[in-house]
Amino acid sequence: MLTLYTAPTPNGWKASIALEELGLPYEVRAVDLHLSEQKTPEFLALNPNGRIPVLVDDGFAIFESGAILVWLAEKAGRLLPAEARARSEVLQWVFFQVGGLGPMMGQANVFYRYAPEKIPFAIERYQRESRRLLEVLDARLAAREFLCGAYSIADIMHWSWAHTHRWSGVDVSGLPHLDRWLHAVGGRPAVQRGKAVPVKVALKPEDEKLFAEKARGLLV
């Protein structure tokens, strides 16, 4: 049995979308980030870094969203090619996402949304770099429907972050290929189902300030 420990964040959506796309049965354990459930001893036993998502497959815990998606794709035999060069191509874009787009948009979120002091240099730096990375995706998508030709885990991973560009304050005007791809991936039924996992925890008004303070150190 697969058990997914997750929350409604871009990295969390990666895992649930992949599970839905692959049609693998799984159970969900919602992790309440504003209560710091990802910092409990029980959760840290699964992921010592204290971040979501975590996938447990028959007692074996996998953390890091990229590692989870590779595991699931290999388990199902889909969304990651077996042929060496095609597989490498997908993995290159997987690493591009986990080392680039995710961290840059995450930092844009911190300084644009959560920082108690607005630092223009930091906001502009991370928004500009996020925009540059999205331009790379736009150029890549000019000659192909999906990032590596066929739909793959690379598309799932990038879409989970890229479609949140407004929250990061990143303008994507003038990127028609990216726009087409965002709508194509976002319109997939499995993507819509996966993005709805888990049901978002509704914050009480008095919790919103506390959540914003904690989120600066808990982006996942």
Q: What is the pLDDT of residue 67?
A: 98
> What does the alpha-carbon distance between residue 128 and residue 216 come to, in Å, rounded to a whole number?
20
For the record, the structure tokens of 64 come out as 């890091």
Annotated domain spans of the chain? 2-78+194-215, 84-188
Q: What is the pLDDT of residue 215?
A: 43
> What does the alpha-carbon distance between residue 218 and residue 38 come to, in Å, rounded to a whole number?
9
> What does the alpha-carbon distance between residue 71 and residue 30 come to, in Å, rounded to a whole number?
21
Query: From its phi and psi, is residue 187 left (phi > 0), alpha (psi between -120 and 50) or beta?
Result: alpha
Same fold yes or no, 2-78+194-215 and 84-188: no
Domain spanning 84-188 has what CATH number? 1.20.1050.10
Q: What is the pLDDT of residue 200?
A: 52
What CATH architecture does domain 2-78+194-215 belong to? 3-Layer(aba) Sandwich (3.40)
Task: Report the chain (220 residues): mean pLDDT per 10 consecutive residues.
Answer: 96 98 97 95 97 98 98 98 98 98 97 95 98 98 98 98 97 98 98 89 49 43
Q: What is the pLDDT of residue 199?
A: 73
pTM: 0.90
